[in-house]
Structure 1
């Protein structure tokens, strides 16, 4: 088989929307230059689609046209390296999934310990959010919830009071152990995030877990998060106005 046939054969086994690079084929062909040229020819012919320089994907068709790859596929090389987690989708990338907004953003936000400059891939803008906690597969869902609390006033097309109710519902499904880890992780977040977490834990009857959060806060600092006091009666106890 020639290089193009080799590529077609392997792409046929990929899931629709799967993003790949020439590295996926290097063990099958001898010439890297020939491989890259063949990939570009197949992209130009429409057999595969090009996402960005050196990145391609297996297109999926719908009644409304070609579907783009999902956000994880677009940035998976920024999330994991050699099987090790280095980042996670957060912010604008997860608000819709968590039921916080109906909007789907073209901005992909990634939480990482070491942030980098914003970048573009295809139609997507990619930005980074500093995460001070160690990132593991197990704690990513908890870090995502804390990020939502941190940026709760910036959720598009959603009022803070509604967002609080959604987050309260999500946290009510966590185990006691998960809530304990959530509190520990929150200690590396801004004070306003810790205060809002304390309010929600109070509302869930988890007063025992809030002691560390209270001790970490300055009792005379006021946190302005409109809408919270209308949902949670203990908001004023946490200096949230």
Structure 2
């Protein structure tokens, strides 16, 4: 009996010591009784105290972690989609809006962002240019590339009224106007700082020839800043120097009614 009492006292002292260490976390009173019950409660107190202590340490560690802002999935997806569209661009190429709609799930927003970022230049409504750079800076779009995209057709002829000066007929004026003979669009169109005079024609050659230019100059004589009578006198004088078979075909294929009459008179005379 003395040994049991001594054991009870020892357990009671241990219990009080544990309770004093962990305070109110355990909710255990110091007046525990019973040998086995006391031992079980002491074991439970020790386990609970350890868990609470570890939990407290973890919470404290989490509070000390630096706060990091992570981009949400929607932002990452949006940036990735724009990068995919930019990756499809080729420097020097002209695009229509619908060309990029095939590779973009938000084409209007992507176009605004690409223009703002310099990946594209806006030439006109719905028409964009992927800049091509050289050692001298950004190059303008190639006329053939630009017009083929604008017209949705590769069958056209581009030249300037200044081309008439190569005929040796005394004309010397320079013109900013660029003519575009084609089958689809008629009117003056501006793309960036360039202006094109598009004219629908039933026929025109693939390339410029002296005979075509001569016939076309007579067609457009009223548009030239030249003395009309002097130019016509030079045409009659220089007429024998052209290939007559090619000239005859050019007059027949490309001359206006008035031009055909004029050449018939000159050649018969």
TM-score bracket for this pair, using the shorter chain length: 0.5 to 0.7
Partner of 1:219: none
Q: Confirm whether residue 22 of structure 1 aligns to residue 89 of structure 2.
A: no
Q: CA deviation at 1:45?
A: 1.2
Counterpart-to-counterpart distance in 2, 1:57 and 1:194? 45
Counterpart-to-counterpart distance in 1, 2:184 and 2:152? 13
Counterpart-to-counterpart distance in 2, 1:168 and 1:8? 55
Counterpart-to-counterpart distance in 2, 1:154 and 1:147? 11
Of residues 35, 38, 44, the one that matches 2:110 is 38
Q: CA deviation at 1:20?
A: 0.9
The 3 A distance-change label for structure 1 pair 114 and 147 is: farther
RCO higher in structure (CA 8 A, sep ≥6): 1
Partner of 1:181: 249
Partner of 2:120: 48
Q: Which has the larger radius of gyration?
A: 2
| Residues 197-208 of structure 1: pairs in structure 2 closer than 5 A | 198=263
Counterpart-to-counterpart distance in 2, 1:97 and 1:19? 31
Runs of 4+ in structure 1 off by over 6 angstroms are: 96-102, 156-159, 167-170
Partner of 1:191: 258
The question of whether the paired residues in 2 share the 8 Å contact of 1:116 and 1:128 is answered with yes
The 3 A distance-change label for structure 1 pair 156 and 79 is: farther
The question of whether the paired residues in 1 share the 8 Å contact of 2:179 and 2:198 is answered with yes
The question of whether the paired residues in 2 share the 8 Å contact of 1:95 and 1:101 is answered with no
Q: CA deviation at 1:41?
A: 1.0
The 3 A distance-change label for structure 1 pair 127 and 169 is: farther
- The runs of 5 or more residues in structure 2 that have no matched partner are 1-78
TM-score of the pair, normalised by structure 1: 0.54
Counterpart-to-counterpart distance in 2, 1:79 and 1:139? 16
Count of aligned positions? 183
Counterpart-to-counterpart distance in 2, 1:154 and 1:79? 25
The question of whether the paired residues in 2 share the 8 Å contact of 1:71 and 1:108 is answered with no
Partner of 2:80: 2
RMSD: 4.4
Of residues 116, 126, 138, the one that matches 1:66 is 138
Q: CA deviation at 1:38?
A: 1.1
Partner of 2:216: 147
Partner of 2:157: 88
Q: Spell out, residue by residue over 1:218-239, the C-alpha distance to the aligned partner (whole angstroms, 9 max, x if none).
A: xxxxxxxxxxxxxxxx79x76x
- The runs of 5 or more residues in structure 1 that have no matched partner are 199-212, 215-233
Counterpart-to-counterpart distance in 2, 1:170 and 1:110? 28
Q: CA deviation at 1:36?
A: 2.5
Larger helix percent = 2
